Amino acid sequence: MEQRAGRGAGGRRGLRAGRRPARPGATAVSAHRRDETGLAGLRAAVASGADYVEIDVRRTADGTLVVHHDRTVAGVPLSRCTYPRLLDLAPRPVPLVSEALEIIGDRAGAHLDLKEHGAEHEVITMARETCGPGRLVVTTRDPDVVALIKRYFPDVTVALSVGRGPWERGMVRDFAPVRTLRASGADMAALNHRLARTGVLGQCARAGFPVMLWTVNAVPLMRRFLNDPRVSVLITDHPATALGLRAHQRAHQRVR
């Protein structure tokens, strides 16, 4: 899945998938998991047959790489918790990144969502060794991290995540992201699905950036975006539903 997205045309650039590659031109599905699902959620995401499994990467105070979406647990920042302390505070086990990558293995592509700066080299090297070359895509909100990864791992596909909340600084810039995408060297844009409905998806397509879309859980939106040639990867909490819709669309297209 480390296939270069290749910019220039606004249409879909399908990424190679893991165990069950989508047909050329089909939108790939990335299985997003929530913190409360723990290791069981990771196993279920892999078992769903999704093309990618997304893991959120953070580092604890003692340097341990963990899979955790939120910045805090029980109100305490992970950056101030050792891993043993994190396990005490969390209501259920918090997976290590190494554990998550072993679960993914060669059964799906690894989608690494880097939540903070500083873990790029370690986690990408670990993912390449565990999951194999050509089975990796990275997302991050930090343009500097995109540039760093492209400098040291030029063959890794990297998407710049776009879509801050209305209370966050810089939100207005998300409505015109192309300049930042180009300056960072990103291969793709990872858009909040709400932005896609405001014309930002069209901007990215016209600029030649394939799009990953997050987090799409409503069935009508899944149908819409799975059939949109500008969307390369659909990220969802419900991968089995998305895969079923994709298969139905594929069967319908064969009949026509």
User: What's residue 5's pLDDT?
Assistant: 43
Is the pLDDT confidence value at 213 over 90? yes
Residue with tokens 């799009």: 211
CA–CA gap between residue 52 and residue 30 (Å, rounded) = 4
DSSP state of 42: H
Q: What is the mean pLDDT of the chain?
A: 89
Bridge partners (DSSP) of residue 136 are 110
Question: Which residues, at least 6 apart from 124, have a Cβ–Cβ distance to it below 8 Å?
Answer: 112, 136, 138, 149, 153, 156
pTM score > 0.75 for this model? yes
Q: Do 43 and 226 touch, CB atoms closer than 8 A?
A: no
Q: Residue 63: how many CB atoms within 10 A of its CB?
A: 11
Q: Which two tokens stand for residue 22?
A: 């989508």
For the stretch 32-48, pLDDT in tens is: 988 778 888 999 999 99
CA–CA gap between residue 228 and residue 97 (Å, rounded) = 32
Place 85 in a pLDDT band, splitting at 50, 70 and 90.
Answer: very high
If phi > 0 it is left, if psi is from -120 to 50 it is alpha, else beta; for residue 49 that is left
Question: Which residues, at least 6 apart from 198, have a Cβ–Cβ distance to it below 8 Å?
Answer: 175
For the stretch 146-198, pLDDT in tens is: 999 999 999 999 999 999 877 777 788 899 999 999 999 999 999 999 999 89
Bridge partners (DSSP) of residue 66 are 58, 96
Place 251 in a pLDDT band, splitting at 50, 70 and 90.
Answer: confident
- Which amino acid, residue 62? D
